[in-house]
Structure 1
Amino acid sequence: MRLNYLFNSKTLSYTLKFVFTVFVFLSFQTNLKAQEKSFDKAINAFQDYSTAYREIAYCHLNKSTYIKGEMLGFSGYVFNKDLKKPSLLTKNLYCVITDSTNKVVKSKLIKVKDGFANNVFNVDSLFTSGNYTFKAYTNWMRNFDERNTFVETFKVIDPEVESTVKGRVVENNLDAQFLPEGGYFINEVKTNVGVIVKNTEGFGASNLEGVVLDNNKQTITTFKTNALGIGRFLFTPILNQQYTVELNYLNKKFTFIIDDIKPKGISITVNDLKGKLVVEFDTNKKTLKDIKGKPFKLVIHNGKIIKVIDVKFNSESVIKAINNDELFSGINIFTLFDENNAPILERLFFNYEGIHFIQLGKPSLTKLKDSLTIKIPLNNLKLAESKPNLSISVLTNETKSYQRHHNIISYTYLQPYVNGYIENATYYFTKIDRKKKYDLDNLLITQGWSSYNWNNIFNNKPTNSFAFEDGIAIKANRNSSNQNHFIIYPLENNEGFLVDLPNNEDSFFKSGFYPNEDETLSLGILNRKGRMVKPNLYMQFYPSAIPEFNKYERTLKPKGLSFTKYTATTPFAINLDETQQLNEVVVKTDLRQTKIDMLKGSSFNRVYLFDDKIRSMNLSLANYISTYIPGYFAIDQGGNFIIRASNSSSKLGVASSGPIVYLNDMRLSSYEFLINFDMSTVDYIAVNRHGFGEGMRAGYSGAIRIYTSNTFSSKKDGKSFREYSFPLSFSKKRKFYVPKYNTYTDDFFKEYGVIDWIPNCTIDTSNNLNFTIYNPYNNNIKLFIEGVTGDGKFLSETKTILFNKG
């Protein structure tokens, strides 16, 4: 066996200029018009296609079902797709939430450092009951057709719309697909058939027994699906025969037909046998006459590196054995090319070897009053070498709100390489054993061709239409040739610097700006006398808006509570109630409902936007609060500023606590700064009436946040520089606040409540994961822990801690 290794070269400059046709099935008729081409050109086309740097985005969401009023916490990861290590290049990550109509509800630009970022979204008044989609992507990812972006659906429950969580009763219908390994049923060729059976909601129908019958209704074989509705059977189809597959699901019989059998073709069978992967190609006598001795090629690739094995059919069966150490870690895409260099069949195989997992030890607990400190050892981690980023969702042990289909491993190693969206892909990467490897192989049989489309590889080399972004870039266009020496003032995340613009140039370009929300670009110019004056510039910003991303919209919603109705059969047709007996619809489960409580203080921030009309009214801050903000009144007189909540038991002038006040997210220690406050600079005021998420100090008076911007200032400030607003800025890191629940002992809290979210965990010098949570009611908890190290070791584990074992 000759095994050729061909690796990518960035200097490769072939341009492939031929039309490529992907055949739906093998045809060896005389009208075959595929031209003979050197296989080297096919290899070169792949290398050209795969040379460009690729990344994968993944986000660890703290839940999959949210109650309106909670926060959605997330940790974002961007990986080098080929190395499976955090990307050190990416700085900009777009995070977007869309509703069921693909309308953008919320969006953020997040700054990424060493492949990691974290932030929150408020599930606020912009949401109502329904399914929403979370997307995370970089601008660079938009150049590629493979599924490298993160897309996941989550559910929101609005207590004003849904007072209870009810199990939805759905029709008892099945969709079954029977997919031959390699893609085709071929006359008199034994074939492994992947089975995938889904219910009405698109989830796998578990543990179904199926029977395959021939034309004479004789049983050929049987099979059984696993918990995800996937199975496999082996049989040899005969041309012009019709095969029937019978399934019985909840007392209802379903029948499916297999009749698309080709007279000619080649099948593939892949078996993992004790250190070797055996790849077997089978065909029939009629096909062998056409292909005997002709040069076929078996291509193995992982999206970056490609290997080639020569294949010749001198008999109806050809076997190639490949040592496991010759395989790629993770996905291996096997494609058979015919003598005309056309891909005729494809099979995906997953190799677990070479994937590095972090193993967690047994948690130890230290309780101090209502707080619990948890320490978990990381058994096979050298902290100094790894630089881990880990996040933890802390929920109750009985939670129903964490039904995510992917973890960090499955989304990095598996999802980008398949076309479909995989149900409960996490299953294949937790507590891995022989059965899970077998189940994953069955799944891959049902996936068909990979996300690497050979037609695109041959004809559509990726272009750099969408730039690789490094923060915000500016282009400053001057209107006067006398302006040469520019000073750009520092931002919170950027140092200031000087720019000298030659007389023969009309503009300068700088990238790498990381403005936080509401920061402006301050820019001055030194005139010939060395004095600072305001410049006269036309400014352009790149990017100036969050780019749209509408690929890969199909996802699976979280698997919720649903029941399948079926027609019951009874041994006696007796009318017990003296009424006409009909086919009875019976729900095969307990229809217990969970009441959804309104969260305490879930009226979250109400926002009061200012416009020029309001600014021109010359209202004082005290007048504005008393007139426009319900629930508060204020007085500004005699050198004192007093503000109180209208529900306060105290009157003005009597000692009582007022609301917490923030100015541009800085908490004011007193109200003195608000005396004669300049209202011309106010952009908006956000009011948290009940203090939700503000801690105990907010009491019953809540919190008021005032946000200003110099853009609106009409006063002459005498500044010698000009300020320019960034049309797009980076979202600041927000602290995750746990909502206040009415009770911590009922089913609602146990099934849907949040105990905590830790987006960036601390690891001590002894390689222990350390964090503290607030758990005053000693609820049993479940920890969903995910993360990665700088050298590509992955962690995804669930830990349960029981306090009440009764």
Structure 2
Amino acid sequence: MPKNTFFLFILMMSNIIFSQEAIDENRSRIISALENYFFLEREAIHLHLDKTTFLTNEKIWYQGYIINRKTKKPFFTTNVFVVLYDEKGKQVSEKLIYAYNGIFSGVIDLDAKMTSGNYYIQVYTNWMNNFSEDESGIFKINIINPSEGVKNDKKIDDDSLELYLTPEGKNLVANVSNTIGIRVKDCRGNSPENLEATLQNAKGETLKNIHINAAGFGKFEVNPEDDFDKVVLKHNDKTIVKTLPYKQSVGFGLEVNNFSFETKTIIKIKTNLATIESFKAQKAYLIVHQDSKHFIYDLVMDKNSLEQTISLQNTDLFSGINTIRIVDSNLKEWANRVIYNAPKKETPISITKNYRKEDKIGFVGYSSAPNTSFSITIVPTETKSLKENYSILAGLGINPYITESLPNANYYLFEPKRIKNYELDLFLLNQAVPKYDWENIKTTKPATNFSFDIGLTLKGNINKNVKNYSDYKVKITSFKDQIIKSTEINEKGEYVFENLILTDSTTLAMTLLKLPNFEIIDTKIGHQVLNRKKPFYKPFKPNMSQVCPEIKAENTIVDLDLPKFSSQAIQLEEIKVEKKLTYQRSIGNGHLMGYKVDEIMENIDLLSFIERNGFTVIRRFGDATIYSRVINTLNAERPTPQIIIDGRVLMNQFEFTTMRMSDFDEIYISSNALVPGMLNRSGIIKAYTKKNFKPNHIKADPNNVLIKEAFSLYPIFKNADYKNTNNLGFDHFGLIEWASLLNSGEEGQFLFKITDYNKPTVKAIIEGMTQEGKLIHDEIIIEMK
């Protein structure tokens, strides 16, 4: 090889290597920015409500679902705050709810004095305070006070009607074809129907007509040669004129189509010669990401590639919302856009009538996925009480990633079609402000300034007259919550109990014990609950960008349009004598399968019973060990369940495996329950013996303290006292049944009952989540006769 040729080869190779290193460095910086910003786990929370329109005589029933956004699986969050606000942002009620295995259930009591109007439920955790974005869930509901009337918040307010323009990609770029989203709404977010706007030039001549759908969204395309100037909308006597955004001389236009083709998404990137010239020393990248999950494409930057098309298979995209960004090698963002990639639709739920007993009809539900958590609301077929139409698919797959929650989600998601996919994309295109700002992503890293609370923390001190603190322990006992714990005292005379699961109005017996004989010392013990009242630093606030006139309640509806109530109605269900589970409402038990040990069950072998409920029992030489059937560790050691007897967590299984079924009063069990910790636990067995513990046996003591406003008890559903259910009022706004904390079990079956209100058919809205994080939303018309 000639010397000059060899030198040229070395120079070319050096340039290629240098260029590749630069590209890799740029990619690394982009990846590092995403991974740092989304390093901390983020929760997403959804509420399944029994209705979204309520009368003040009713209660709000709900079941909540929590996922870890990184894994899409149920999260082990326990402390969830549920707060009700009125439309002016004033707090009406607040409760702490215990979540288990990604599920929680509760009820919000309404007051007869509440005024008609919109209210908002905000659901959050203390951990969410670590993030600059509002990661809470907010759910709009409507409450009607029958004595006041109905406030029609869907009535268009013409005076506040406004028009908004959002270029796709957020920038209008000169000398390229641009897609521009259009939105029309009043101060309450309502849009008139059958609207059409016009794109006009500077002379007022119409270039094209723009159709706006019933939700108030549309889009249009402007070409470089068009002499476009403004968009004009006329409605009744009002004319709205909006000038198009200023054109950027350098930039990128985005055009995304994920609705025309069932299996792929087409992304077009458009630019101009001025941009090519300015990017001579830079690279540009197309990023597609969901939180920290990502893939990155190099964009070709030359004058022969002013328009590039990238075709992506939807199976390669992330399930739910994907964010598309164009970023250069200096990490400057030039365009951004969010799209929705629908998850694979789960097999529909099937429901079969099982039995009839008095006024109850039993049903069996069948799911293709075992161990799925469900909640079901049953309403009249003609109901008008679900106008907000929340869906778990939007609640956990869309809303956490955008600034404005998707309204009327079931319209788009329940039975998707091409036109609905197109309309959903119109909504996303018109999201003017991204929830996750690129400047924040590339410059900041969230810190753990707020704790991830698991249970409550009880802290206090003992009398200073006590000497040698290391010789003492503090013991707490709660018969109500089956808690017996002790802890050491530090050199300052302080003690701490962490991760306590205490229900509202729990009485704790606190005792000072002297070692080594555990002698009870009569002394005053101070206490405080540290993490019950955790403020949220992004509380719900009404949108004050436009001031809406006060809505006056209307009494124009006839008597039959609202259900009537009778507080004197006798609930025969209350006087039935049944063998009910005593501990079912104890915190955590509502998520487990509960069994009352009666005369029949006493004859069952305890370990055989455990095997039939999803565990493996290995018997060796008279000894037995219970294992989970799930392998959840890297070294493949077989996990064992957490076993709790009368509130005591057993350190080994011997005590339990040597007992008999007849020793127990009730047993609660789940083979797939999550058990946080480092002890390789999977699944829970909670057993209550037939010993007769009674709180009134506790000796009166100044150290018996009442813990107020702890975790709310799991509610037992009781319907409102409807005076008459055979009228339009009940058919439009009444509730027939609510069932929460259902589980499909190993065979995919779950049981529930429906009160027979003499309706030929009813509507069931079913939501659920599997242990793998698959989301279920189904709506079924059930034959009652």
Identity %: 23
User: Is structure 2 residue 490 aligned with structure 1 residue 524?
Assistant: no
Deviation at 1:531, TM superposition (A): 2.6
Alpha-carbon distance, 1:166 to partner: 6.6
Equivalent residues in 2 for 1:423-434, closer than 5 Å = 423-434=407-418
The answer to whether structure 1 residue 344 and structure 2 residue 339 are counterparts is: no
Matches within 5 A, 1:642-653: none
Partner of residue 477, structure 2 = 489
Q: Which residue of 2 aligns with 1:372?
A: 361
Superposition pairs for residues 270-419 of structure 1, below 5 Å? 270-272=256-258, 275-292=263-280, 294-315=282-303, 316-353=306-343, 355=344, 357-361=346-350, 364=353, 370-378=359-367, 381-383=368-370, 387-419=371-403
Counterpart in the other structure of 2:716: 735
SS of 2:741's equivalent in the other structure is coil
The match for 1:600 is 566
Please say if residues 333 and 450 of structure 1, whose CA atoms lie closer than 8 Å, have aligned partners that are also in contact.
Answer: no
2:774 to 793, 800, 805: 793
- Alpha carbons of structure 1 residues 234 and 343: separation in structure 2 relative to 1, 3 Å: same
Q: Partner residue of 2:531?
A: 543
Quote the offset at 1:448 in angstroms.
3.6
**2:736 counterpart SS class:** strand
Q: 1:359 to 1:81 in 2, by over 3 A?
A: same
Letter in 1 for 2:734: G
Quick check: 1:122 aligned with 2:109?
yes
Contact 2:254 2:269 in 1 (8 A): yes
TM-score by length of 1: 0.70
How far apart, in 2, do the equivalents of 1:472 and 1:738 lie? Answer: 31
- Checking the alignment, whether the CA contact within 8 Å between 1:193 and 1:234 is kept in structure 2 is yes
Could you list the per-position Cα deviations for residues 723-767 of structure 1 after superposition, in whole angstroms to 9, with x for gaps in the alignment? 233354111112222122232222211111111111233647753
Q: Which moved more, 1:427-436 or 1:480-489?
A: 480-489
Q: CA deviation at 1:508?
A: 3.0
What displacement does 1:472 show? 0.6
| Cα deviation 1:324-381 (Å, max 9, x = unaligned) | 343222221111112422112111122224x452412365475555433334433xx2
In the other structure, the counterpart of 1:752 is: 733
User: Structure 1 residues 538 and 197, CA, compared in 2 at 3 Å: closer, same or farther?
Assistant: same
Q: Hey, what's the Cα distance between the residues in 2 that align with 1:555 and 1:785?
A: 31
Distance 1:298 1:482, change over 3 A: same
1:108 maps to amino acid: K
The whole-number CA distance in structure 2 between the counterparts of 1:74 and 1:146 is: 25
Q: Match for 2:66 among 56, 70, 78?
A: 78
Alignment of 1:469 onto 2:453: yes
C-alpha contact (below 8 Å) 1:92/1:469 kept by paired residues: yes
By how many angstroms is 1:665 displaced? 13
- Equivalents in 2 of 1:790, 1:418: separation in Å? 25
Is the partner of 1:760 in helix, strand or coil?
Answer: strand
Q: Is 1:210–2:197 an aligned residue pair?
A: yes
User: CA, structure 1 residues 295+525, in 2 after alignment: closer, same or farther (shift >3 Å)?
Assistant: same
Partner of 2:41: 53
Question: In structure 2, what is the Cα distance between the partners aligned to 1:156 and 1:754?
Answer: 14
**CA distance in structure 1 between the partners assigned to 2:519 and 2:262 by the alignment:** 79
**AA partner of residue 141 (structure 1):** M
Aligned to 1:245: 231
Give how far 1:401 is off: 1.3
Query: Residues 171 and 300 (structure 1 numbering): CA distance in 2 closer, same or farther, change over 3 Å?
Result: closer
**Structure 1 residues 494 and 594, CA gap change in structure 2 (3 angstroms):** same
| Contact 2:369 2:770 (8 Å CA) reproduced | no
CA contact (8 A) 1:166 1:594 kept: no
Letter in 2 for 1:50: F
CA contact (8 A) 1:165 1:596 kept: no
- Tell me: CA distance 1:56–1:293, structure 2 relative to 1, closer, same or farther (3 Å): same
Inter-partner Cα distance in structure 2 for 1:602 and 1:84: 47
Distance in 1 (alpha carbons) for counterparts of 2:245 and 2:476: 71
User: How far off is 1:168 after superposition?
Assistant: 7.2
Q: Does 1:148 align with 2:171?
A: no
Aligned-pair CA distance for 1:309: 2.0
436, 439, 443: which one pairs with 2:420?
A: 436
> Which of the residues 754, 762, 781 maps onto 1:781?
762
Q: What is aligned with 1:422?
A: 406
Cα distance, 1:396 vs structure 2: 1.1
- Indicate the residue corresponding to 2:647 in structure 1: none
Q: Is the 8 A contact 2:169 2:335 kept in 1?
A: yes
Distance change (3 Å), C-alpha of 1:145 and 1:279:
same
Distance in 2, matches of 1:467 and 1:186, equals 45
- One-letter code of the match for 2:736? I
Residue 459 (1) aligns with residue 470 (2): no
Query: Distance in 1 between the 2:143 and 2:518 partners?
Result: 59
Contact 2:89 2:540 survives alignment (8 Å): no
List per-residue Cα deviations over 1:396-449 (Å, max 9, x = no partner). 112111112421110111111112232212322211222222222222211144
**Contact map agreement 1:371 1:776 (CA 8 A) in 2:** no
CA contact (8 A) 2:560 2:727 kept: no
Please state how far the C-alpha of 1:595 moved relative to its aligned partner: 4.6
| Structure 1 residues 785 and 442, CA gap change in structure 2 (3 angstroms) | same
**Quick one: distance in 1 between partners of 2:230 and 2:214?**
23
Out of 33, 44, 57, the residue aligned to residue 69 of structure 1 is 57
Q: What is the alpha-carbon distance in structure 2 between the residues aligned to residue 199 and residue 758 of structure 1?
A: 37
Q: 1:685 matched to which residue of 2?
A: none
C-alpha separation between the residues in 1 aligned to 2:355 and 2:153? 39
Note if 1:265 corresponds to 2:251: yes
Q: Report the CA distance shift for 1:728/1:481 in structure 2 as closer, same or farther (over 3 A).
A: farther
Structure 1 residues without counterparts, runs of 5 or longer: 1-36, 557-561, 564-589, 605-656, 658-663, 667-709
Name the residue aligned to 1:704: none
How far 1:719 moved relative to its partner?
A: 5.0
Deviations along 1:273-298, one digit per CA (max 9) or x if unpaired, are 57543322212233332224631122
Question: For 1:105, which of 92, 97, 106 is the aligned residue?
Answer: 92
CA distance in 1, matches of 2:289, 2:77: 25
| 1:112 positional shift | 0.9
Which residue pairs with 1:767 in the alignment? 748
Offset at 1:270? 1.9
62, 66, 82: which one aligns with 1:95: 82
CA distance 1:215–1:103, change in 2 (3 Å): closer
Q: Partner residue of 2:589?
A: none
Alpha-carbon contact 1:764-1:770 (below 8 Å) kept: no
Partners of 2:148 and 2:569 lie apart in 1 by: 15
1:776 to partner: Cα distance? 3.2
CA distance in structure 1 between the aligned counterparts of 2:216 and 2:354, rounded to whole angstroms: 40
Structure 2 distance, partners of 1:211, 1:530, is: 85
**Contact kept? 1:333, 1:348, Cα under 8 Å:** yes
CA 1:460–1:723 in 2, change beyond 3 Å: closer, same or farther? farther
Q: CA–CA distance in 2 between the matches of 1:205 and 1:214?
A: 25
Q: How far apart, CA to CA, are the structure 1 residues paired with 2:559 and 2:167? A: 43
SS in 1 for 2:483: coil
**Which residue of 2 is the match for residue 180 of structure 1?**
167
Question: Mean alpha-carbon deviation: is it higher for 37-46 or for 415-424?
Answer: 37-46
Does residue 1:233 correspond to 2:217, yes or no?
A: no
Write the letter of the residue equivalent to 2:100: K
Q: How many residues were matched structurally?
A: 624
1:551 CA displacement: 4.2
Map 1:190-205 onto structure 2 (within 5 A): 190-199=177-186, 201-205=188-192
Q: How does 1:583-662 map to 2 (within 5 A)?
A: 595-596=561-562, 598-601=564-567
Q: In 2, distance between residues paired with 1:158 and 1:404?
A: 19
Which structure features the higher share of helix residues? 2
Moved more, 253-262 or 429-438: 253-262
